[in-house]
Amino acid sequence: MELIKSEYGLNTMQLIDLLILIMVSSGVCGFIYELFFYKIDTGKFVKRGSSYGPWIPIYAWGGLAYTILVYRFKDNPLLVFLLCVIVSGILEYVTGWVLYNVFNTRLWDYNTEIWNFGNVGGYVCFRSVFVFGLAGLMLIYAVIPMLVRLMKLFDPSLVNIVCLILGAVFLLDCMLYRINHRLKK
């Protein structure tokens, strides 16, 4: 994280704001990706995810994980790609396995989708981690610099307020969805 702070001249609060923006934008990009992927897969638009809003939490956490674990290797794009593939594969497999085996919930199942080669238990497949590796490259080389430039266009206090509201709405949405989902059972 110190690398991002020094590279972009951010203080700690600005770094937190950036991390919130990374999470929310990653969640929104994941929502858009799945919207179009399932249009191809099923022939219709399908709202995916475990939230009410236009974001998917696992993508938000994946974007945060890429930033924390992979950004430091940004001088080597091939390594960034490979690490993003590994990080997303582990995140997807562990999350899917825990949701299914501990909470009896299945949010995705690659057994039922097109282009699912390299499928491991329905939790992870080659297509998904390959796309997520490409998404990690986009995040590190395009999205993060763009978000920092955007943040610097506005007063830091305003950016902080907007980011705190966005982060709170995101977390509240995920919590309310989960609570409501539990009540329906």
Could you report the per-residue pLDDT of 124-147, keeping only the tens digit for each? Answer: 999 999 999 999 999 999 999 999
Average pLDDT over residues 151-176: 97
The per-residue pLDDT for 185 is: 62
Give yes or no for a contact between 136 and 88, defined as CB atoms under 8 angstroms apart.
Answer: yes
| pLDDT for 42 beyond 80 | yes
The per-residue pLDDT for 180 is: 87
The per-residue pLDDT for 50 is: 82
**pTM reported for the whole predicted model:** 0.93
Range of the domain at 124: 2-184
The dihedrals phi and psi of 109, each to the nearest 5 degrees, come to -150, 100
* Non-local CB neighbours of 33 within 8 Å, separated by 6+ positions: 59, 131, 135
Instruction: Give the SS3 label for residue 120.
Output: strand
Q: How many domains does the chain have?
A: 1
Own/partner contacts of 8-11, CB < 8 Å, gap of 24 or more, are 8/148, 10/148
Give yes or no for a contact between 63 and 25, defined as CB atoms under 8 angstroms apart.
Answer: yes
**Tokens linked to 104:** 């009896």
